Chain A
Amino acid sequence: MSWRRFFRRADWDRERSAEIESYVQIETDENVARGMALADARAAARRKFGNATVVREEIYHMNTIAFLDTLARDARYALRALRRNPTFTTVAVLTLAVGIGANTAVFSVVNSVLLNPLRYPKPEQLVVLHQDAPGAAGLASFSKGLPLSTSMYFTYTEQNRSFQAMGVWTGNMANVTGSAEPEQVRVTVVSDGLLETLDVPPAAGRWLSHADQTPHGPERVMLSYDYWQRHFGGVPSTIGRNLIVDSRPREIVGVMPRGFRIADTAFDLLVPFQFDRNKAILAGFGLQGIARLKRGVTIAKANADMARLIPIWMNSWTNGPGTTGEDYKTWRITPALHSLRQEVVGGVTDVLWIVMATIGLVMLVACANVTSLLLVRGEVRQSELALRSALGAGRGRIVGSLLIESTALALTSGVLGAVLASAGVRVLQAIGPANLPRLTEISIDSRTLGFTLVLSVLSGLLLGLIPAWKYSRGRIATVLRSAGRTASLSRERHRVRDLLVIAQVAMALVLLVSAGLMIRTFQALRTIDPGFTESEHLQTIRINIPNSLVGDRDRVIRIENGIIDKLSAIPGVAAAGFASEMPMEGYPSGWDEIFAEGHTYPPGQIPPLFFFNYVSPGFFHAAGTRLVAGRELTWSEVYNRRRVVLLSENLARELWGTPAAAVGKHIRELSTEPWSEVIGVVQNVREKGVDQNPPETVYWSLDNPYIGVIRTATFVIRSHRAGTESFLNEVRHAVWSVNANLPVASPRTMQTVYDESLTRTSFTLVMLAIAGSMALLLGIIGIYGVISYAVSQRRREIGIRLALGAEQGALRGMFVRHALLLSAIGLTLGMMASVTLTGLMKSLLFGISPLDPLTYAVVPLVLVAATVLASYLPARRAAAVDPVEALRAE
């Protein structure tokens, strides 16, 4: 036999029939020639031939794969059976499709984010050069660790034995001018070795080279693919042209391919560091390091190698005359390398797995419901199945056909589910956390579709298993005898459906408790004072005044002062100010060593590190940050370079006990420099996010002894018109009226910034809430189904009871009590599961315990109420049974 014949066997059969007919005709002709009558001749010819049907069948079977044939026939039968019950099929298919769709959508995210997050060759070799410094006070409370300094980069890259290549990078902003409007762009500054480490070839031109890093050498730049497309239309002749970055021309040498990022940081331009080795000092910790491990080197080995290099680094460099690296011993700098993958997806792993598990539970609840439906259908089809087995259908054959039927159901749902999932992915992209890497690139790929297929087939088999197991056992006699009579059903028949309802209630409870905990977390976060007020009325913009545009310090201050004045003059503006960074913006933070007046520091010991920010006069008033003691800066203090400073409340308390005591005291960054006077203390600000403790913060005036005046800042404008396009236009023109070459970047309201800092929580909340409501709805349908089925099966019994004088209320109570019993068992099991499972989401909770009493009290009440509702409706029907009719129906 061959496949070709298998599929064409109907044609073949027709041809054989023609051939057989031809034999019979020829034989008949010959018989007639011998003198027989036509009818006899034909009969004789048939006899001579033998049983034509058997011959045809034999040939047909030669062309058949018996198993496939059965399968095809059962599948056809299953589809026909499903078509005959449109209500059942619609409900079942929709239930499953929603489950499969939700799972597919979430899987597509997990697939691209967790399973396949890095698009570099051999990504498993890439590590992040993370280091801890538990002895560096202040820094220790934040998770980002100690960044690298330039001198560390030189020591590590020159003397390591573990890496094929390594490099450092940092993010920045720059102004691009020369085209119609000045534009602020995202720049990533990279060292020699970084592109070699990531090993992704350029889409056009060449990489930045070692020569491009020479101090005072020619200035070069690479473009991102998007920037190349947007500004140069992607033409190859872009290479070699100049781009004016921060008022200086840079030669474009290459373009990186589409979607290329450094770790998870996207950029517009890639420019090289131009480190001057002779000027490098120990300090200046602001660089992120990435390395590619040599073959066979483990992270542990590389850590040991790095630990060897830290003393070498301390002995090779200084912070200027009279200082040594020995001072850093108290920081206890320890290498803690981890994989780049962990760095990129670390923050969202918990969230995604929890969401995936949650959605998986919903799928189970949906399956329980459909199984329940299949069981009801199985009851109805008992006599059909019994008849089939009485007529000789084997048990295997019946189990097979039931499984095929449920699989056909699940596959149909799978197709619909894939369609739903592609819509679901859009929704996920809209509500997904901002730190979900490459959220916009998520799509339904072949792996996701494979997942959908496997999920559909598995759920199909799971669904069919229980009915198949229950109804394949030949109880032919029982069933046929009772055919047509609705005898009260055995308890055993109900037990499976009762168990399903219990499981549903238990799973719904787990999901609702999780959702409840997230709602409570969200509430707790909303009550936290972030350190600014009425965020929807706070418009922020980012402005950078490059050295190349305005060199003189006083002119920079005058421009910044001018911008504040112009902004304040816009109608409807209450106040304006600026800071080098607004809370929760997520720019790389700075840390300062702080010497405080009245405190003694042992010689040779580095004082504690504190978070710092630079603020303009009037900034706190504009942002709504409360002054606890003292006053804000004034412009005259800025112009006169007065050394004055503000502190956060927690820092003031740590240094001098009370905010009031801090005012008038002094701090400084180096023991050799003059003191700065503390003129004010402000409330604690949640700089790193609502759910992170507020750091102890120093607010400097606008001068920095090392980098000069503050040139990049976030301006904040308080106005009821914040966020509107017309307002933004006026803001832009106000800025341009001071200097027309200044781009106005990143216009946002603080509300947006605030919401983004909560996306991880709100995303989890929304997903769990969706999952919880789906489970609740399915649970209600499940209970409703079980009770109304019980009512319909027990009509006769109810009729008898009513005829004997049972109260209607008592009858209703009987059914509601049954539902409540099931639900109570489910709730108990669900409670036990929740106590264990919600411990897993501890990292997502804020301000409440995983055993939050309110959540644990309310959720079961909701479920009990739902149970009563879902069972009362069918129970009422039971009480409305007309006894005469119910008994006559027999």
Chain B
Amino acid sequence: MIYGSILNRMPRRESPLNSEMLLGTLDMLVLQTLVLGPAHGHTIAHAIERGSEDVLQIEHGSLYPALHRLEDRGWIASFWGTSENNRKAKYYRLTPAGRKQLTAQTARWEQVVRAIGRILKPATE
């Protein structure tokens, strides 16, 4: 019992995508992936990796807290199904609220990107 409580007090390792700014981004990427239809965690992870042409190298595990959070907020919903190669897998699909959230977030993201772009390359404008 003593050891249990000690363990609990050890500082937890920060997961790579835990930093504030990236959190929102990852959410957006997950939602974007699901626009095409329901998918399970494995598919989503690979889709993000491939879609970014391997620029965004993530530990696939760190995706799961994000999925949990999104589901908690009601933006995605989950169900158990069977994968392409007959494995049991948990599928996620976009909810109407999630679709709305994606639109809003994408718009804001584009705003930010444009703004940053203007700051970084003012000369070319």
Q: Does residue A26 face the partner (Cβ distance < 8 Å to B)?
A: yes
Q: Does residue B89 face the partner (Cβ distance < 8 Å to A)?
A: yes
| Residue in B closest to A1 when the chains form the complex, CB atoms | B72
| Residue in B closest to A61 when the chains form the complex, CB atoms | B12
Q: Among the interface residues A2, A25, A52, which one has the most CB atoms of the partner chain B within 10 A?
A: A25
B94 to chain A, nearest CB (A): 18
From 1 to 52 in chain A, residues with beta carbon under 8 angstroms from any chain B beta carbon are 1-2, 5, 15-16, 18-20, 22-23, 25-27, 29, 48-52
| Residue in A closest to B44 when the chains form the complex, CB atoms | A23
Starting from the known contacts A23-B41, A54-B12, A392-B9, 6 additional A-B residue pairs (CB-CB under 8 Å) come to A18-B90, A22-B42, A23-B89, A52-B61, A54-B13, A55-B61
Asked whether A54 and B15 contact (CB < 8 A) given A1-B72, A22-B83, A59-B64, the answer is yes
From 378 to 407 in chain A, residues with beta carbon under 8 angstroms from any chain B beta carbon are 384, 387-388, 391-393, 397
Q: Does residue A58 face the partner (Cβ distance < 8 Å to B)?
A: yes
Alpha-carbon distance A637/B85, docked complex (angstroms) = 125
Alpha-carbon distance A576/B94, docked complex (angstroms) = 101
Q: Does residue B56 face the partner (Cβ distance < 8 Å to A)?
A: no
A820 to chain B, nearest CB (A): 43
Interface of B is mostly: helix
Q: Does residue A308 face the partner (Cβ distance < 8 Å to B)?
A: no
From 56 to 110 in chain B, residues with beta carbon under 8 angstroms from any chain A beta carbon are 59-62, 64-65, 68-69, 72, 83, 85, 87-90
> Do residues A48 and B60 form an inter-chain contact, with CB atoms below 8 A?
yes
Across-interface contacts of B2 in A (CB, < 8 A): 384, 387-388, 391
> Do residues A50 and B87 form an inter-chain contact, with CB atoms below 8 A?
no
Across-interface contacts of B42 in A (CB, < 8 A): 22-23, 26-27
Across-interface contacts of B60 in A (CB, < 8 A): 23, 27, 48-50
Q: Among the interface residues A5, A54, A57, A384, which one has the most CB atoms of the partner chain B within 10 A?
A: A54
| Residue in B closest to A5 when the chains form the complex, CB atoms | B72
> Do residues B87 and A25 form an inter-chain contact, with CB atoms below 8 A?
yes
> Do residues B40 and A22 form an inter-chain contact, with CB atoms below 8 A?
yes
Q: Does residue B6 face the partner (Cβ distance < 8 Å to A)?
A: yes
From 32 to 47 in chain B, residues with beta carbon under 8 angstroms from any chain A beta carbon are 40-42, 45
| B-contact bits for A54-93, CB 8 A (1 contact / 0 none) | 1101110010000000000100010010000000000000
Across-interface contacts of A5 in B (CB, < 8 A): 72
B30 to chain A, nearest CB (A): 14
Across-interface contacts of B9 in A (CB, < 8 A): 392-393
Alpha-carbon distance A15/B13, docked complex (angstroms) = 23
Q: Which A residues have a C-beta under 8 Å from some C-beta of B?
A: 1-2, 5, 15-16, 18-20, 22-23, 25-27, 29, 48-52, 54-55, 57-59, 62, 73, 77, 80, 384, 387-388, 391-393, 397
Across-interface contacts of A59 in B (CB, < 8 A): 64-65, 68
> Do residues A55 and B15 form an inter-chain contact, with CB atoms below 8 A?
yes
Q: Does residue B124 face the partner (Cβ distance < 8 Å to A)?
A: no
> Do residues B6 and A49 form an inter-chain contact, with CB atoms below 8 A?
no
Across-interface contacts of B61 in A (CB, < 8 A): 20, 49-52, 54-55
Asked whether A57 and B12 contact (CB < 8 A) given A48-B60, A49-B60, A62-B69, the answer is yes
> Do residues A55 and B41 form an inter-chain contact, with CB atoms below 8 A?
no
> Do residues B62 and A50 form an inter-chain contact, with CB atoms below 8 A?
yes
B27 to chain A, nearest CB (A): 14
| Residue in A closest to B59 when the chains form the complex, CB atoms | A50
> Do residues B62 and A73 form an inter-chain contact, with CB atoms below 8 A?
no
Across-interface contacts of B41 in A (CB, < 8 A): 19, 22-23
Q: Does residue B1 face the partner (Cβ distance < 8 Å to A)?
A: yes
Across-interface contacts of B69 in A (CB, < 8 A): 62
Across-interface contacts of B90 in A (CB, < 8 A): 15, 18-19, 22
B57 to chain A, nearest CB (A): 10
Alpha-carbon distance A391/B9, docked complex (angstroms) = 10
One of A16, A52, A388 near B5 (C-beta < 8 A):
A388
Across-interface contacts of A1 in B (CB, < 8 A): 72
B82 to chain A, nearest CB (A): 10
Across-interface contacts of B12 in A (CB, < 8 A): 54, 57-58
| Residue in B closest to A2 when the chains form the complex, CB atoms | B72
B70 to chain A, nearest CB (A): 12
B91 to chain A, nearest CB (A): 10
| Residue in A closest to B58 when the chains form the complex, CB atoms | A50
A804 to chain B, nearest CB (A): 42
A64 to chain B, nearest CB (A): 11
A89 to chain B, nearest CB (A): 18
From 1 to 31 in chain B, residues with beta carbon under 8 angstroms from any chain A beta carbon are 1-3, 5-6, 9, 12-13, 15
